[in-house]
Every structure is written in structure tokens, then in C-alpha cells.
Amino acid sequence: MDRELLIFSTLCFFFAMVRTALSVQARNYQAAGLNFFAIALGFVFQTAFLSVRGHALGRCPLTNLFEVFIFLAWSVSLIYLVIGPAYRLSLMGAFTAPLVFILQTFALLAPIDRPPLMRHEPSPWLELHASISLVAYGAFALACIAGIMYLVQERQLKRRRINSMFYHFPPLTDLFSAITRLLWLGFVLLTVGLVTGFLTGEPLPYVKIAWSLGVWIFYAAILIARHLGTTAPRAIASLCVLAFSAALTVLWGITFLWQTKTL
Amino acid sequence: MNLFCLGISHHTAEVETRERFVGHGGIDRILREEAGCREALFLTTCNRVEVYAVAEEMIPSERIVQCLCTHGIDQIGKELNAFYRYEAWRCVQHLFRVTSGLDSMVIGETEILGQTKKAYEAARASGAAGPLLHRLFQRAFRVAKQVRTLTGITRGSVSVGSVAVDLAEKIFGDFESRKVLLLGAGAASERTARALVKRGVRDIRVTNRSWERAQALAALICGYAVRLHEWEQHFREVDIVISSTAAQRPVLTRERLGPLIHDRLDRPLFIIDIAVPRDVDPDVNEMQGVFLYDIDSLQSIAQQSLALRREQMDVAEQIIDEHVNDFSGWFSAAPERPLGGSSLRASET
């Protein structure tokens, strides 16, 4: 039953993605309206899925890689729905929908929805640590998307070549502000996530600590570079894309190893 | 019942011809009383003169043209060939295309909608526009709005000055806190600066070889003059540079700009070079955070915008066709049909 909810959700994001692609091809892209509604509906199904799964497990649904991916996709949608309209970044939906669609499709198709190995009652700190860290990843995902938008818009302005999407892109300075805010949001959440991780009372795997600190230091370095004013916005945007891609890959690896208990 | 449009526009005649048919005061009344129209609306803009009318019987074009003529009637000869006439649903289609900006000289321009609304208000106030024209024009305004919303026909600027301002907006968003430096006090930079002031720029600095000219322009645009030897100090603060000096060699090169923007890498710099020969070395565009546009690249963006608008014409035509069919359907089927005539499609001549 819960997987059906997820399939409906994935279809909503697929619809938003295809509709965007078609309207871009037809050169009459409309940022607001149906796309936003489709993403919002997809988010409702995601929430329903996590709720059903959580009740079935009797805990926060973060027990395997499948659930981690869905929780991450849910965080991305949540942050987009909150900040998209607030910062007039409705076009971000055009980039958010494909990311969420890919995450969920991968989760649905890959054989990663395995029963949890841990049978004992989890520490509430562990659940808090995992969920806050994944919401932080959601913010970093959106910073990555804003970074891609910045690079696309900057390239169009530099090359002096415009297309129908050009007029839907927010101004460069607005995008850069959004990147900064999302980086700060993700960084604060990740810091809280790390601190709660140390309060779990459970033995922490060395690789996981090293990886978490590595991600934290990477994002701290990006924020320092941004606020020193000596790094061009283009480089910050590129770093956001690089940092999230690297972090997502390592997250996958770590969770996979954790699931197979090789850590 | 005959619904028709008779007109002359930039497609069919030069301005010298068009200006001879702008009508007299009270043209609405003349069209009804002398030409025999039951309802009439007179639309005149710098690119077109048109009459939309409803009549019991077919009125010859010559009779309408005579009403519009501002010079001797006997001089109308070849000029009559410049007029076009659309009957029934073609008239409806033409009006919808006009109000949507598809028939304009600059495709997608929106000024025509305001001008049509004004003409409609005048005709309504004088009683010249009756129930059919009222319905027709209300629908035309709706169609124009829909075309504007659902297509990109009005998107992008198509003149060099507005392209520059639009690009600045795409880089900076709002203008209130932006600082502008004018290198050279020519007429072209004055026009661009004025456009920026209109959009909210409050801080404009002007530098020029002639101190008096710099002061005079600064006073005109509510900015302040900067001595020629001091402009480099201001460069660190400004966001937009408009350059139009009469220098024969580039004033801004990569080597010269490098140290000036080194400590402001986190802020973009938009340079508009409208000088010929160019004031800014093209290599400057390769620098981090610098966006350089010269007169050719601004014109190229204007052309691209126009091309994008043209690409949207098919979608706009589809919307218009749907409304034409719907309007024709209403005209044929409505029991309260105002004029009790035959259907628009059937009455086509």
C-alpha cells in the first residue's frame, strides 16, 4: 500500500518534469500554476507514504537506503515548497521535479527496500540525528539546484544567447542570495544533526564520523569563501553542485555499507 | 447585417499616406450619419487608421474613406488601393490580431491594447459603439490578455535601450541600491542613464573630459560629477558602467580592470559599451563576474527577443482562432442577437 502512495507521488513529479520539458521545447514555459500544484500533490503523497511507513515500523522511517532516499526527496520538496514562492524562485520547480523524480524512481526500482537489521528500539537522539541531517541534505540539494540555475543564467548572460527560459530565471543576485541562505540553513541543520549524533549513546562508526565531519568542513569552507568576498559567485555556485554531488554519493555508499553491516 | 473593418496600416502604406486619413473631429458621428453605419468605432494610432463598423447593408469602401480623408476628396485615387477591408469573421480575426499585437510593427507590443481601449471608450461615450461592437471589443480585450498570459509574445525587449535595462535587471534584480558610473557624457549614455533612473537607480556618477559637460549631465539626471582622474576610485563601488567616450582606443582593458575589481569579486559588474569605436576591450567579458555588452551584442539580444516573439505567433494564432469560432458561434446562436442578422461565417463576402 505504501509503495503505491510513492508511485503516485513519483508520477506527480514525472508530470511536472515532462510538462516543463514540453513547454520549454515549445518555448512557452509558464513557471507557476500547474507545475507547482503537481509538486505540492507529489509532496502530499510523499508525506502520506512516510506516515504509513512510520506507523508500520513504529519509528521514524529511516531504516534502510530506500527510506533514506525517500526522506531526502521529501526534504527537497518541503524546502522547495517553503522557499520557492517566498523567494520568487518558482522556476526552481523545473529543476526540483527531475531531481525528486530521479531519487524516487531509483529508490523504487533498485533492490534497496530491505527489512531493517536493527531490531532494538532506536534512541530518539538517533532518529532526530538522522532526520535533521537529511533535512539539511534537502537544503543542500536546493542550494545545488540554485547553483545550477546560477550557472545556466550566468552562461546565458556571458554568451549573450537567450532562450525562452531566460526571462523566467530570477536575477543573478537573487539566486546568489538564495544559495547563501540555503547553505546557511543546511549548515545549521547539519551542525544540529551532528551534535545530536554524538548524544545517541550508541557507538559511532569511524567512517560515518569522518564522512559527516568531511561534509561539514566542506560546507563550512564554502560559507567562509562566500563571506570573505574573495571568491566569485560562479565558483560558489559550482562548489554547491560539487559538494552536494559528492555528499550524495558518499551518503549512498555509507548507508549501503551500514545496511550490509560492513562498517 | 454587415460587420466589417476598413483600414490602412504600416503594412500597406507609408506614413505620408496614412497621415492623410486620420479623420476629423466627430468622425464617429460622420460615419453613422453620412456613411450610414449603424455602429462605428474609429481607431487611429501612429501605425494604423481603422474603422470597425456594423451596417444594415453593404457600404462601399469609398464612402468610408471619404469620411476619413483630411484633404480634398477628389485627390483620393491610388490611395484607395492602400486600404484593406475585412468582412464578418475576418474582421473579428483582424481585430483580435490587432489587440494582441500580432499585427503591430513590433510584434507583441502592448501599447496597441491601450489605444484600442481608448478608442472603444470614446465610441461608447459618444454612443457610436452599440451592443455588437461592445461585445466584439470586450472579447478582443479578453483575447489580448489571454495571448499575453499564455504565450511569450510580449516577452523580452526589442530596442537597444530597454535591452540594456532588462539585462541590468536580470543581473541585479532591484535598482535602488545600485550605483552607476557614466564614462563620457554623450546623448546615448544619457538616454540609458535616464531609463535606469526611471527604474529606480538613485546613485549616478558622471565623468567626462569636459568637467562642465559632466556637471551639466549630472544635474539633468540627478547624479553627481566626478573628476576624470578620480573615476578609478569610484569603480570599486559601482555596479553598472555605461561607457560612451570619444576615445579612439579602448579605455577599459583586462589589465586595467583587474586590480580595480579584485576586491569586489562577490559583486557582478555590468558594463554597457555604447561607444563606436568601442571603449572596452572585448576580452573584459571573460573576467569573473563581469558582463560586457557592446552596441552589437545589445542589438543581437533585441533581435533574439524578436525572434522568440515570432516563434510564439503560431500559439497566439491558435488562441485567436478559437475565440473567432466561439464569437461566430455566439453571434449565430444567441437568441438576443443584437442585430438579428445571419451568422458571421455565412455573411462573409
In chain A, the percentage of residues whose pLDDT exceeds 70 is: 87
Contact B316, B147 (CB under 8 A): yes
Least confident of A212-216, B28-32, B46-50, B210-214: B28-32
Residue B316 has pLDDT above 50, yes or no: yes
pLDDT tens per residue across span B12-43: 988 888 888 877 777 888 888 888 899 999 99
pLDDT of residue A166: 78
- Count Cα atoms within 13 angstroms, Cβ side, for B267: 16
Residue A263's pLDDT band (cuts 50, 70, 90): very low
pLDDT of residue B247: 86
Instruction: Output the nine-digit C-alpha cell for A40.
Output: 505540492
Residue B51 has pLDDT above 90, yes or no: yes
Please check whether residue B169 touches A, CB under 8 A.
Answer: yes
Overall domain count for chain A? 1
Return the number of other C-beta atoms located less than 10 Å from residue A221's C-beta: 12
Out of A82-91, A95-104, B30-39, B316-325, give the one with best mean pLDDT: B316-325
Helices A34-57 and A65-86 sit at what angle, rounded to 10 degrees? 140
Inter-chain CB proximity B311 and A27 less than 8 Å:
yes
**String of DSSP letters for B159-216:** SHHHHHHHHHHHHHS--TT-EEEEES--HHHHHHHHHHHHTT--EEEEE-SSHHHHHH
Inter-chain CB proximity A161 and B304 less than 8 Å:
yes
pLDDT of residue B343: 53
Inter-chain CB proximity B297 and A226 less than 8 Å:
no
The residues facing B241 across adjacent strands are B181, B271
Please check whether residue B172 touches A, CB under 8 A.
Answer: yes
What is d(CA A77, CA A96) in angstroms, rounded to the nearest whole number?
7
Q: Pseudo-torsion of CA A70, A178, B284, A161, nearest 10°?
A: 60
Least confident of A53-67, A125-139, A229-243, B323-337: B323-337
Q: Is the dihedral angle over the CA atoms A162, A167, A172, A177 positive or is it negative?
A: negative
pLDDT tens per residue across span A137-190: 999 999 999 999 999 999 999 998 877 677 778 889 989 998 999 999 999 999
pLDDT of residue A152: 92
pLDDT tens per residue across span B59-107: 998 888 888 886 666 666 777 888 999 998 899 999 999 999 999 988 8
Among candidates A27, A157, A173 on the partner chain, residue whose Cβ is nearest the Cβ of B173: A173
Residue B333 has pLDDT above 60, yes or no: yes
Nearest chain B CA: its distance from A173 CA (Å): 5
- Count Cα atoms within 13 angstroms, Cβ side, for A256: 10
Inter-chain CB proximity B315 and A229 less than 8 Å:
no
> What mean pLDDT do residues A5-30 have?
82
Query: CATH 3.30.460.30 region(s) of chain B?
Result: 2-155+312-333
What is d(CA B21, CA B26) in angstroms, rounded to the nearest whole number?
14
pLDDT of residue B334: 59
Inter-chain CB proximity B308 and A163 less than 8 Å:
yes
The residues facing B183 across adjacent strands are B207, B243
Per annotation, catalytic residue among B5, B37, B46, B222: B46
Nearest CA in chain A to B169: A171
Inter-chain CB proximity A28 and B150 less than 8 Å:
yes
Share the mean pLDDT of chain A: 84
Inter-chain CB proximity A164 and B315 less than 8 Å:
no
Please check whether residue B54 touches A, CB under 8 A.
Answer: no
The residues facing B43 across adjacent strands are B50
Helix (H, G, I), strand (E, B) or coil at B82: helix
Nearest chain B CA: its distance from A138 CA (Å): 25
Q: Is the peptide bond before A170 cis (omega within 30 degrees of 0)?
A: no
**How is domain B160-303 classified at the CATH fold level?**
Rossmann fold (3.40.50)
Residues whose CB is less than 8 angstroms from the CB of residue A170 and which lie 6 or more positions away in sequence, other chains included: A87, A88, A89, A91, A149, A153, A178, B173
State chain A's maximal CA–CA distance in angstroms. Answer: 60
Buried b (16+ CB within 10 A) or exposed e, B202-232: ebbbbbbeeeeebbebbeebebebbeeeebe
What is d(CA B264, CA B235) in angstroms, rounded to the nearest whole number?
10
Among candidates B167, B289, B297 on the partner chain, residue whose Cβ is nearest the Cβ of A232: B289
pLDDT of residue A200: 76
pLDDT tens per residue across span B214-239: 999 999 888 999 998 888 888 888 99
Nearest CA in chain A to B239: A173
> What mean pLDDT do residues B265-277 have?
89
Which CATH architecture best describes the domain B2-155+312-333? Answer: 2-Layer Sandwich (3.30)
Asked whether the ipTM of the predicted complex exceeds the cut of 0.95, the reply is no
Inter-chain CB proximity A162 and B156 less than 8 Å:
yes
Question: Which chain B residues in 284-323 lie under 8 Å from chain A, judged by CB atoms?
Answer: 285, 288-289, 291, 293, 297, 300-301, 304-305, 308, 311-312, 315
What is d(CA A186, CA A192) in angstroms, rounded to the nearest whole number?
10
Share the mean pLDDT of chain B: 87
Inter-chain CB proximity A157 and B170 less than 8 Å:
yes
What is d(CA B230, CA B235) in angstroms, rounded to the nearest whole number?
9
Nearest CA in chain B to A166: B170
Query: CATH 3.40.50.720 region(s) of chain B?
Result: 160-303
- For residue B72, with 0-12 CB atoms within 10 Å meaning exposed, 13-18 middle and 19 or more buried, which class applies? exposed
Buried b (16+ CB within 10 A) or exposed e, A61-93: bbbbbbbbbbbbbbbbbbbbbebbeebebbbbb
Nearest CA in chain A to B285: A158
pLDDT tens per residue across span B152-179: 888 877 778 788 888 999 899 889 899 9
Q: Is B46 a catalytic residue?
A: yes
Residues of A in contact with B312 (CB under 8 A): 27-28
Range of the domain at A162: 2-114+122-259
Residue B133's pLDDT band (cuts 50, 70, 90): very high
> What mean pLDDT do residues B133-158 have?
90
pLDDT tens per residue across span B180-189: 999 998 887 8
pLDDT of residue A261: 57
Inter-chain CB proximity B268 and A173 less than 8 Å:
yes
Please check whether residue B167 touches A, CB under 8 A.
Answer: yes
In chain A, the percentage of residues whose pLDDT exceeds 90 is: 41
Helix (H, G, I), strand (E, B) or coil at B152: coil
Interface test with A, best of B149, B240, B266 (most A CBs within 10 A): B266
Phi/psi class of residue B111: alpha, beta or left (left: φ > 0; alpha: ψ in -120 to 50)?
alpha
Residues of B in contact with A229 (CB under 8 A): 263-266
Among candidates B169, B301, B312 on the partner chain, residue whose Cβ is nearest the Cβ of A160: B301
Residues of B in contact with A235 (CB under 8 A): 288
